[in-house]
Amino acid sequence: ETFELLDFLGMFKVEVQQNIAQSRDFQVTTPDQPRTVQCDPAKLRHILRNLIENAFKYSHNSHKQPELKLSYEGIFFEIKVKDYGLGIPKSDQGRIFESFYRGSNVSNIKGTGLGLNIVHELVLAMNGKLDFESIENVGTTFSLRFPYNFNYEGVE
Ligand code: ATP
Ligand code: MG
């Protein structure tokens, strides 16, 4: 399926504001130029929903709002989801994509530990790449990278 990224993110932002953010806001930054991508929009929505849900959930104690940033990188597009929350302790960072794994600093926050496991599988199945950087008590940034045409053979 083919769709335009800026329209997609505009609708996604409304959906997040209505269902996830509640009274909190988040910033969406995009380039001005529209770009068409070919992938399953329902899967991309699922991936972004999980990342932004985590960003809100694990930054409840923060006065800074989560951010979503789109950029175009050659034949790929990149979406970063950034928060200024609890962060992921170094000792947990190797395991967060495992099913049912939950960080040692989140035991008082509800969750099953399945969200990222499914997201990771979906991203790989779509020839994409998922990375993150996190510092405990500073924040976390997840980076998603996809070819515009998801049939392209892999992301370097
Ligand atoms: P759910 O299955 O309901 O999403 P969950 O949020 O605990 O439960 P994942 O989304 O898979 O599970 O995340 C796994 C773990 O990674 C979390 O329990 C948390 O420890 C850590 N984590 C993920 N995203 C963040 C984030 N933005 N900030 C801090 N920790 C995070
Ligand atoms: Mg989660």
With bands split at pLDDT 50, 70 and 90, how would you rate the model's confidence at 110?
A: very high
For ligand 1, pick from 58, 104, 144 the residue to mutate: most ligand atoms within 8 Å of CB.
58
What pLDDT, on the 0 to 100 scale, is given for residue 151?
Answer: 54
* Residue entry with tokens 């979406």: 79
Question: What is the rounded CA–CA span in Å between residue 26 and residue 150?
Answer: 28
SS3 state at 150: coil
The ligand placed nearest to the CA atom of residue 92 is: 1
Q: How remote is the CA of residue 112 from the centroid of ligand 2, in Å?
A: 7
Element (H, E) at 56: helix 41-57
Q: Are 109 and 69 in contact (CB under 8 A)?
A: no
What pLDDT, on the 0 to 100 scale, is given for residue 146?
Answer: 95
Ligand 1 atom 29, closest CA:
87
Q: What is the pLDDT of residues 16-44, one digit of tens each?
A: 999 887 778 899 999 999 999 999 999 99
Which ipTM value was assigned to this complex? 0.99
What pLDDT, on the 0 to 100 scale, is given for residue 23?
Answer: 77
This prediction's pTM:
0.94
Tell me the percentage of the chain whose pLDDT exceeds 70: 96
* Residue entry with tokens 């992921």: 88
Ligand 1 atom 24, closest CA:
54
Question: What is the rounded CA–CA span in Å between residue 68 and residue 48?
Answer: 9
Instruction: List all residues whose CB is within 6 A of at least one atom of ligand 1.
Output: 54-55, 58, 83, 85-88, 96, 101-103, 106, 111-117, 140
